[in-house]
Structure 1
Amino acid sequence: MTENNLLPTYEDLWKSTTNWIPSAENLQLWQGIYDEILAINQHLNLTRITTPEEFWEKNLWDSLAPVLEYDFNHKKIIDIGTGGGFPGIPISIVFPDAELTLMDSVAKKINFIKEVAKKLNLTNINTLVDRAEAIGQDQNHRKHYDFAVIRAVAEISVCLEYSLPLLKIGGIAILYRGNITEEEKLKIEEVSHKLGGKLMKITNQNTPLQNHIRHCIYIEKVKLTAKKYPREIGKPTKSPL
C-alpha cells in the first residue's frame, strides 16, 4: 500500500449522510479490499473504479448508505449479482454477525471474493456461482433469506423476479438504482404485487462527492411467491413482467 492508495475516511460525510461512523476495524478491512482489487485489476478487469475517492464513493458509501438503517446482524442476506463483491463485502464487514451469501454467475468474480474473504478473515461470507433463476427454484435458497440486495444488474421488474422468491415472509428486497422514471415507479407496485411483495418506499440520496443520482427501492415480502417465479433461465430478461 502506498500513500497514493490510502482510502479517505470521510468521517464527517458518513456522519452527515448516514448518521453513522465506521470503526477503525472497518477502515482497516476496507483498505484491505481496496489493496486486493488494485492488485488483481492488473491482470483481471474486475472494476473500472480505481482511485481511492471513487472506490470510497461508489463501492463503500454506495454499498452501505441504503442499508445502515437496518441491523443485519444475525440475519441471512443474499447479494444477487455481486460482481466484485459489492455491496456484499462492505456489508459483511460492518455487520460481522450477519450471514451473507454472495452470488454471481461469473466464476472468476466469485473466486476473487473467496480469496479476499480468506485473506481478511471474513468468516460470515458464503459464495455461490449460479443464476438467480436457478437458485430461486432451489429449496435450499427459496424462502430462505431475511434480506436480498441487488445492485442494478437488470431492469427493475427483472430484479424483483430474481429477489422476491428468495425471501422469507417479512423479508425485504433492497434494489440499488440510479435514476427512476415515473413509469417505472408505477411498474414497481404492479410487479411487486404479482410476486408477493409490497412497496415500502423509494428513497433518493445522491452520492456525496460527485452528486450522482441514486435511488433505492425497498420491497417487503408479504405473501408467498407463485411457484412459477422465477421463470426459466433467460426468460425474465427476455420477457420482463
Structure 2
Amino acid sequence: MKKAAPPTSEPPELEALWESWLAELGWQPSEPQRQQLQQLYPLVMAGNRTQNLTRITAPIDFWEKHLWDSLRGLRLLGSWAAIQARPWRGIDIGTGAGFPGIPAQIALPQASFTLLDSSQRKIAFVQEALQQLSLTQARAVAQRAEIWGQDPQERGSYDLALARALAAAEVCAEYCLPLLKVGGRAILYRGHWIEAEAQTLERALSLLGGKLIHVEAFTTPRSHGIRHCLLVEKVAPTPAYYPRPPGIPKRQPLGQGKRC
C-alpha cells in the first residue's frame, strides 16, 4: 500500500459535519487527530480495490457510518477528559477494516488497542494502516476471538473491549468478557434493540460474569439511522470454559436455551 496523500480540501457539507462533533460527540479532534481521521478514507478506499473492506464508499457516508459511529460508543465511558486521560488497554474484536479500533486509538492516544480479526488479509491491511497513521501504540492480530480469549497472556488483561457489527450481542459478550479484567467494560454496537434481546443477553452475562449497565439509543447525525450502544461491565471472573471452541458461540449462543 502506498502512503496516503495528505487530505485535500473537503466538500462544505463534510466540513460542517466536522464542526458539529462538539455538539454530537462532546469532543472535537485536534488538528493532528483530524488529519489521521481524514487519512483513513483514502487508505480504506485503496485497500477496497483488492479486498472487500467496506461497502461504504461515499466520503460523507464514510464519515458518518465509520468515523462518527465508531466514536459515538465511547461516550458511554464518561466524560471525554476522563476517558482520554486513562491508559486503557483495549481490544477491538472483529475489527475488519479497523473500525471502531482505529478511530478509538486516534481519539484515545493514551490507550493501547489490539485490533483482532480472523482474516489474515484484513489484518494485513490494518497493520499497514496503523503504520501509515503512525499509531505505534496499537497492534493488529490475526486470530479467532475464541482462541485469543483462552490465551493465558491475554485472558483477563483488558480494560475495554469493543465489538461492532460482529454477531448477536450474546455472542459478542462471550468473545469480550473472558478478555476483560474484573471491572472492565465492553461496548457492544447494535442497530435496533428490543427487550427480548436484552433478556437473552442478560442470561448470557449471568454465565460469563457480566452485567448490562446501560443501553443508549441515538440517531446518526446525517441519515438519522437508529443505533444503540450497550455498556457491559465484568463483575466476576469468567469461568475457564468460556469462550467455547471456535464456531460454537455462534452456533449455540448463550442465553437462548440450556447452559452449554
TM-score range (shorter-chain normalised) is: over 0.9
> Following the alignment from structure 2 to structure 1, what is the Cα–Cα distance between the partners of residues 46 and 245?
37
Alignment check: 8 A CA contact 2:158 2:181 kept: yes
SS at match of 2:243: coil
2:58 to 47, 51, 54: 51
Q: Does 1:148 align with 2:161?
A: yes
TM-score w.r.t. the length of structure 1 is 0.95
User: Which residue identity does 2:215 align to in structure 1?
Assistant: I
C-alpha distance 98-104 of structure 1, shift in aligned 2 (>3 A): same
Deviation at residue 7 of structure 1 after TM alignment: 9.0
**Residue ranges of structure 1 left out of the alignment (5+ in a row):** none
TM-score w.r.t. the length of structure 2 is 0.88
User: Which residue identity does 2:27 align to in structure 1?
Assistant: W
Alignment check: 8 A CA contact 2:218 2:227 kept: yes
What do you get for the CA RMSD once the two structures are aligned?
1.7
Query: For structure 1, which segment, 37-46 or 130-139, has the greater mean C-alpha deviation from structure 2 after superposition?
Result: 37-46
2:14 to 8, 23, 26: 8
> Following the alignment from structure 1 to structure 2, what is the Cα–Cα distance between the partners of residues 236 and 175?
16
Query: For structure 1, which segment, 223-232 or 21-30, has the greater mean C-alpha deviation from structure 2 after superposition?
Result: 21-30
Per the alignment, residue 19 of structure 1 pairs with 26
> Following the alignment from structure 1 to structure 2, what is the Cα–Cα distance between the partners of residues 98 and 148?
12
Alignment check: 8 A CA contact 2:146 2:243 kept: yes
Deviation at residue 86 of structure 1 after TM alignment: 0.2
> Following the alignment from structure 1 to structure 2, what is the Cα–Cα distance between the partners of residues 59 and 7?
17
**Residue ranges of structure 2 left out of the alignment (5+ in a row):** 1-6, 78-82, 255-260
> Following the alignment from structure 1 to structure 2, what is the Cα–Cα distance between the partners of residues 115 and 227?
34
> Following the alignment from structure 1 to structure 2, what is the Cα–Cα distance between the partners of residues 113 and 14?
25
Q: Which consecutive segments of 4 or more residues in structure 1 shift more than 3 A?
A: 1-7
Alignment check: 8 A CA contact 2:76 2:231 kept: no
Per the alignment, residue 229 of structure 1 pairs with 242
> Following the alignment from structure 2 to structure 1, what is the Cα–Cα distance between the partners of residues 59 and 13?
5
User: Which residue identity does 1:187 align to in structure 2?
Assistant: T
> Following the alignment from structure 1 to structure 2, what is the Cα–Cα distance between the partners of residues 30 and 179?
27
Encode CA deviations 1:166-206: one digit per residue, 9 max, x unaligned: 00010001100000121001122221121000111000011
Deviation at residue 42 of structure 1 after TM alignment: 2.1
User: Which residue identity does 1:150 align to in structure 2?
Assistant: A
Give the number of equivalent residue pairs: 241
Give percent identity, aligned residues only.
Answer: 44
Q: Does 1:220 align with 2:233?
A: yes
Deviation at residue 61 of structure 1 after TM alignment: 0.5
Encode CA deviations 1:34-91: one digit per residue, 9 max, x unaligned: 1111222222221111111111101111000110453154110000000000000001
C-alpha distance 182-235 of structure 1, shift in aligned 2 (>3 A): same
Per the alignment, residue 89 of structure 1 pairs with 102
> Following the alignment from structure 2 to structure 1, what is the Cα–Cα distance between the partners of residues 108 and 70?
13
